[in-house]
Structure 1
Amino acid sequence: MNGTTGGRGRRIVLWRHGQTAWNLERRFQGSTDIELTETGVGQARRAARLLASMKPDAIVASDLSRAATTARELGAVTGHDITYDAALRETYAGSWQGLTHNEIMARFGEQYAAWKRGEPVRRGGGELESEVADRAAPVVISHADALPDDGTLVVVSHGGTIRTTIGRLLGLESRHWESLGGLSNCCWSVLGEGARGWRLLEHNAGTLPEPVLGDDD
């Protein structure tokens, strides 16, 4: 990665997919392939118009339909082809998938509490969050490396995968990743290239990011 000398540096926009029926029901989706609701498609269409004005140079997306459909809305506005990669899928969570949060807490209370404390937990016998970062972050970095100087990459993925990827790119210990908080449907976070690596510029944004004035950059 280049430093910020001579320009603003590269940008990575990590965009969560639009609403699904399981989101409304607070069901843990994981790697289950759930489609967008009509509302979710509308969210993607609106957000795509905002993100298009950031003039992205490339779009890469999870191949699960909720992310792929979201990404296609941005592709339609920008004219960019979309690269789909299974490494950007949501965390596989085994027996948790399809359950509501209340059902998970009732059936897997100790495991759920340990996860919320930041302990490495194979939720439902699935992936560790660090394993999700192991597969997703290198894909994001490889696409970011291919950007022009000052270029922008849009990554269309899932809440958990985005959080772990941000944590890994910022160099945070995995037990601190939960402190980043969640992303609302069709909201995004922006990482910017700084002299000492990636920096979190926007988190859970739903409008056009504004430059940070008077910062130390």
Structure 2
Amino acid sequence: MSARRVVLWRHGRTTFNAQERMQGQLDVPLDDVGRAQAGAAAAHLVDLGVGAVVASDLSRAVDTARAFTALTGQDVRTDPALREVFAGRWQGLLGAEIARRWPDEHAAWRRGDDVRPGETGETRAELGERVAAAVARHAGPAEGTLLVVGHGAALKAGLVRLVGLPVQAAGALAGFRNGHWAVLAARGSGWVLEEYNAGPAGAAVGAEG
């Protein structure tokens, strides 16, 4: 069987999100607000007929996924290919500090340009290819709906690649909100976007990454 629908769900808030600090692949846990967001979103997602759950192996994604599986009794598979973008020297820094130290590169990143963040990080093309390949790999054996739990920049880059849009299209999409999700439906040999940034009311918007 192959999944007919994929739900891309961003993790709940962390202290870095609240501070607008770039996380990248640093393993930052959910804060109290993030755990509440995960629980509220999970209560909505249980009605989608999820057949399998896979998450980034970073704790904020795993713990968000577990808020869902606590309601369904399912297992969570983890995959490091679903991790957030590697952002090089930007990881751990406040957005304002990044903008001050790398003004041109940061402005290009915020526009959605395919630049290398933090001098040594992944481009959006590299990120999208990595995440899209992981989603496709897990969707292949899944039945019904596949729930993918990950990170804002990674999920958006993967989504753009999965629906066949150019890398630059990322700049036309708002960042994933904490605890929110997008829904892709299978059509022919590809995917179409059915929903974007759906989620429970009141979830805070964290810094992308």
TM over 0.5: yes
1:41 matched to 2:39: no
- State percent identity of aligned pairs: 46
Aligned counterpart for 2:138 among listed residues 120, 136, 143: 143
What is the match of residue 5 of structure 1?
A: none
The secondary structure found in structure 1 opposite 2:185 is strand
TM value normalised by structure 2: 0.91
The alpha-carbon distance between structure 1 residues 139 and 123, as it changes in their structure 2 partners (threshold 3 A), is same
State yes or no: 1:134 paired with 2:162: no
Segments of 5+ residues of structure 1 without an aligned counterpart are 3-8, 208-217
Give the superposition deviation at 1:55: 1.7
> How many equivalent residue pairs?
199
**Are 1:170 and 2:163 an aligned pair?**
yes
Distance 1:118 1:15 in 2: 20
Please report how far the alpha carbon of residue 143 of structure 1 lies from its aligned counterpart in structure 2 after TM superposition: 1.4
Partner secondary structure for residue 199 of structure 1: strand
Alignment partner, residue 211 of structure 1: none
Alpha-carbon distance in structure 2 between the residues aligned to 1:197 and 1:41: 33
The DSSP-based 3-state class of the residue aligned with 2:134 is helix
Matched residue, 2:206: none
Quick check: which has more Rg, 1 or 2? 1
Greater Cα shift, 130-139 or 164-173: 130-139
Residues 48 and 74 in structure 1, CA contact (< 8 A), matched pair in contact too: yes
SS of structure 2 residue aligned to 1:53: helix
1:182 to 172, 175, 185: 175
Deviates more, 1:45-54 or 1:61-70: 45-54
Partner of residue 199, structure 1: 192
Q: Report the CA distance between 1:115 and its aligned residue.
A: 2.3
Normalised TM-score (structure 1): 0.87
Give 1:21 deviation, angstroms. 0.4
Which residue in the other structure is 1:214 paired with? none
SS in 2 for 1:31: coil
Q: Pairwise CA RMSD of aligned residues?
A: 1.5
Contact 1:18–1:70, Cα closer than 8 Å, also in 2: yes
Deviations 1:68-113 (A, max 9, x none): 1001111111111111000000001011111111111100001112
Instruction: Give the equivalent residue in structure 1 for 2:203.
Output: none
**Partner secondary structure for residue 50 of structure 2:** coil
In structure 1, what is the equivalent of residue 14 of structure 2?
20
- The question of whether the paired residues in 2 share the 8 Å contact of 1:163 and 1:178 is answered with no
Per-residue deviation, 1:196: 5.7
Question: 2:97 maps to which residue?
Answer: 103
Choose the corresponding residue for 2:72, options 74, 78, 86.
78
Structure 2: tracts of 5 or more residues without a match:
201-209
The amino acid of 1:137's aligned partner reads A
Q: Which residue of 1 aligns with 2:207?
A: none
One-letter amino acid of the structure 2 residue matched with residue 61 of structure 1: A
Q: Is the 8 A contact 1:12 1:144 kept in 2?
A: yes
Amino acid at match of 1:127: E
Q: Matches of 1:83 and 1:186 in 2, distance apart? A: 19
Give the secondary structure class of the aligned counterpart of 1:57.
Answer: strand
Q: Report deviation, 1:121.
A: 1.1
